[in-house]
């Protein structure tokens, strides 16, 4: 087990300098999600206009993996059609299961590939994505 496989530089960068952290003002789609087994929390807010994710922000508490995953997710889906965001989410899930995935589609998120070798940490990485999927369900 190599720690460097898990804690890649780009993950640490997102952990230290989370992108799109904060709240979108006014009435907006907002999802609160907790990982009850460990206490991690995330609030994900999205602005969806004409089927596009025009803004997305998050706040929360959690470990490096969960916060970095949330930060990278917001970068990956911002400005994209909701349908494409869901496809990225599917791709991410495949990566977490250790299945074949399309690296081009995931960009920076590929740095989280090592997480699938740390079974106890998969839930950390997927928390933000559960929030995203719940948000998309709410909207549709």
Partner 1 sequence: MDRAMIRRDFPILDQKVNGKPLVYLDSAATSQKPRQVIDAVSKYYQEDNSNVHRGVHTLGSRATDAYERAREKVAAFIHAPSERQIVFTRGTTESLNMIAHGYARKRLREGDEIVITPMEHHSNLIPWQQVAQATGATLKYVPLQSDGTVSLADVEATITQNTKIVSMTHVSNVLGAVNPIREVAAIAHRHGAIMVVDGAQSVPHMAVDVRDLDCDFLAFSGHKMMGPTGIGVLYGKREVLEQMEPSHFGGEMIDTVELFQSTWKEAPWKFEGGTPIIAGAVGLAVAIDYLNEIGMDTIHRLDAQLTSYAMERLGAIADLTIYGPSGERGALVTFNVSGVHPHDVSTVLDSEGVAIRAGHHCAQPLMRWLDVAATARASFYIYNTEDDIDVLARALETTKEFFSHAIR
Instruction: Point out which residues bind partner 1 (CB under 8 A).
Output: 1, 3, 6-7, 9, 12, 15-16, 37-41, 61-66, 118, 120-121, 124
Phi, psi of 128 (to 5 degrees): -65, -35
Q: Which residue number, 5 or 102, has a Cβ lying nearer to partner 1? A: 5
Longest dimension (CA), the chain: 46
In the complex, the smallest distance separating the C-beta of residue 138 from partner 1, rounded to whole angstroms, is 25
Given the complex with partner 1, which of 114 and 135 has the nearer CB atom? 114
The answer to whether 115 touches 96, Cβ cutoff 8 Å, is: yes
Task: Find all residues with CB under 8 Å of 76, minimum gap 6, and list them.
Answer: 85, 88, 106, 107, 108, 109
Contact between 29 and 135 under an 8 Å Cβ cutoff? The reply is yes
At its nearest, how many Å lie between partner 1 and the CB of residue 12? Answer: 4
CB of 62 to partner 1, least distance (A): 7
Nearer to partner 1, 15 or 46 (CB): 15
CB of 18: closest distance to partner 1 in angstroms?
13
User: CA-based Rg of the chain, rounded to a whole angstrom?
Assistant: 14
Task: Considering the complex, state which of residue 46 and residue 96 has its C-beta at the smaller distance from partner 1.
Answer: 96
Cross-strand bridge partners of residue 30: 45
């Amino acid at each position: 087990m190599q720690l460097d496989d898990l804690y890649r530089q780009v993950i640490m960068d997102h952990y230290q300098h989370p992108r799109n952290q904060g709240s979108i003002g006014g009435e907006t789609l907002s999802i609160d999600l907790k990982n009850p087994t460990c206490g991690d929390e995330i609030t994900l807010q999205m602005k969806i206009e004409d089927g596009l994710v025009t803004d997305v922000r998050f706040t929360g508490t959690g470990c490096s993996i969960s916060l970095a995953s949330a930060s990278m997710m917001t970068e990956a889906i911002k400005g994209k059609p909701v349908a494409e965001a869901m496809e990225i989410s599917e791709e991410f899930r495949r990566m977490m299961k250790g299945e074949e995935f399309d690296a081009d589609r995931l960009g920076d998120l590929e740095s989280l590939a090592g997480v699938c070798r740390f079974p106890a940490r998969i839930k950390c990485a997927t928390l933000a994505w559960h929030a995203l999927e719940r948000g998309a369900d709410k909207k549709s």
